[in-house]
Structure 1
C-alpha cells in the first residue's frame, strides 16, 4: 500500500504556517519534502509532528539555527545540551512569572477592593519571591 503524502497547502493549513514558511524551514534543513506532485511539494504525515516541535521550540525562544542543531543532536553535543539546560531554567522562570500573572488576573476578576493596587492579595501575586508583600 502506498504511503499517503500531504500536499504543501494541506501541511500549511494543518499546522497554521504559510507555504513560504515551510519552504524556508526546508531550505534551513529543518524539514524535507517526500517528493513532488507536479510542481507542488509533498510531505510525509510525520512532518506535522516535526513542525509542532519546531513551533514549540520557536515559542520557547530557540533560533532556527539552534533548532537545526537540536534536531540532529547526539549525546556528545555538550555545548548544545548546556544551552538546553539554560533555556529550561529560563522557561521555568517564565512559567513562574506567567503563573503569578494568571493568579493575579483570576483574583482581580473577583476582587471587591475599590482599587486593585490596594488589595494585598492582588499585589502579593506580583511580589518578588525575595521581597514578599507584607500582610
Structure 2
C-alpha cells in the first residue's frame, strides 16, 4: 500500500496535522519520508495513532505512552502499568459515582435550602477539605493545580 501524506493521516485519524507534527517531535510517530514538503507516513501509523488515542483516553501521559513502544515501533505495553491505571480508574469511578449520587440527591432534596441538607453539606465539606479538589473531567485527579501569574501573583486556575 502506498504511503499516506500528512493530510490523509490527519483526516483518517481525525487529528489536526499540528498534532501529528507534535507527536513526531515527541518521538511517538515517525514519517516514512517526504514528497516535496509534505510528510509521508506508512499506513501502519493509523494503528499507532489509535493506540496513542486509547492511551490518552485511559489517562496515560504522552511520555508514558512513548514508553509503551519498543525501539522498532512495536507495542511493548507493560501489563502492570495497565493494571495500575485500571485500579486508578476504579477509584475515580467510585468518586464520580458518589458525586453523581450526591448531586441527584441535592436536586431532589426536600430540605428548604440546600445548605440545610446534611447530604449536601457533606458534599460541600468534601469539596473544600485540605488537599482535596472536587472531581473534574478536565485533568487527571493526581494533577497539581495549574498556576497562572496575574496582577495579584500566582493563582489556581
Give the superposition deviation at 1:95.
Answer: 5.7
Give the superposition deviation at 1:81.
Answer: 4.6
Correspondence 1:62 to 2:60: yes
Unaligned runs of 5+ in 1: 102-135
Q: 1:4 matched to which residue of 2?
A: 2
User: How many pairs were matched up?
Assistant: 122
Q: 1:51 matched to which residue of 2?
A: 49
Q: Distance in 2 between matches of 1:53 and 1:85?
A: 17
> In structure 2, the residue corresponding to 1:30 is in which secondary structure?
coil
- Go from structure 1 to structure 2 and tell me whether the alpha carbon gap of 1:96 and 1:33 turns closer, same or farther (over 3 Å shift): same
Deviations 1:78-128 (A, max 9, x none): xx5533321021234456777899xxxxxxxxxxxxxxxxxxxxxxxxxxx
Which structure: greater helix fraction? Answer: 1
- Go from structure 1 to structure 2 and tell me whether the alpha carbon gap of 1:42 and 1:99 turns closer, same or farther (over 3 Å shift): farther
> In structure 2, the residue corresponding to 1:14 is in which secondary structure?
helix
**Structure 1 length as normaliser, TM-score?**
0.61
Unaligned runs of 5+ in 2: 100-157
- Aligned equivalent of 1:17, options 15, 18, 22: 15
Q: Distance in 1 between matches of 2:34 and 2:11?
A: 18
**Structure 2 length as normaliser, TM-score?**
0.53
Give the superposition deviation at 1:37.
Answer: 0.8
Give the superposition deviation at 1:27.
Answer: 1.2
